[in-house]
Amino acid sequence: MASQAKKAFSYALASAVPFRELDAVGIGVIFKASDRSTVKALNIALEETTPLAAAYEAVMMVLDEALSTGTRGIAIYVDLPEVVAQLNGEADVPREVLGKHLQARGMINQVGRVRLMVADSPNFSARLLAESANSQHAPPAGSQQRQLSLIQQNVPAWETL
């Protein structure tokens, strides 16, 4: 049997932290193996977005990694309770993140077993990683936007029919 080239992840930590001095939000994502070792970590600053929209982006980064690696059955810890409640169907979704919400739900359905949980530790490592994105240059606005081809953001659904 060949040695495993890339360690699979079984859960991820995702955070979005606003930068007060900039019109940007830092995202931190840490991918963990079942033995709690870190498989991969990334952070990025997104300009002209809200913490809620950025948290959706962080969750979609995890789901995208799961889909690209064939990972099935993951847990995602997110430090914004609103995102967890919305994706678990326990809260209404604000119109401004409806496109991201629908895309994330579609990705969750593709991955299969996904558990979304609130991470409320003050020392949440993904939050610390997101805060460190402030030291990097933020990418141009819109450079990290993902969009389903069938969903047009900022256009009411009844106008796309």
CATH code: domain of residue 38: 3.30.420.10
Residue 55 lies in a domain: yes
Residue 113 lies in a domain: yes
Residue 38 lies in a domain: yes
Instruction: Look at residue 138 and tell me whether its pLDDT is greater than 50.
Output: no
Annotate 135-148 with DSSP letters as a single string: GSPPPPTTTT----
- Can you give the residue range of the structural domain that contains 106? 11-159
Which position has the higher pLDDT, 11 or 90?
A: 90
Residue 6 lies in a domain: no
Residue 5 lies in a domain: no
User: Which region, left, alpha or beta, applies to residue 144 given φ > 0 means left and ψ of -120 to 50 means alpha?
Assistant: alpha
Residue 1 lies in a domain: no
Helix (H) or strand (E) holding 25: strand 24-32
Residue 97 lies in a domain: yes
Q: Domain count of the chain?
A: 1
Q: 124: pLDDT confidence band, cut at 50, 70 and 90?
A: low
Token pair in block for residue 69: 């690696």
pTM more than 0.95: no
Q: What is the pLDDT of residues 14-43, one digit of tens each?
A: 888 888 777 888 888 888 888 888 888 888
Q: What is the pLDDT of residues 55-102, one digit of tens each?
A: 999 999 999 999 998 888 899 999 899 999 999 999 999 999 999 999
Q: Which of 134, 126, 147, 97 is CA-nearest to residue 23?
A: 134
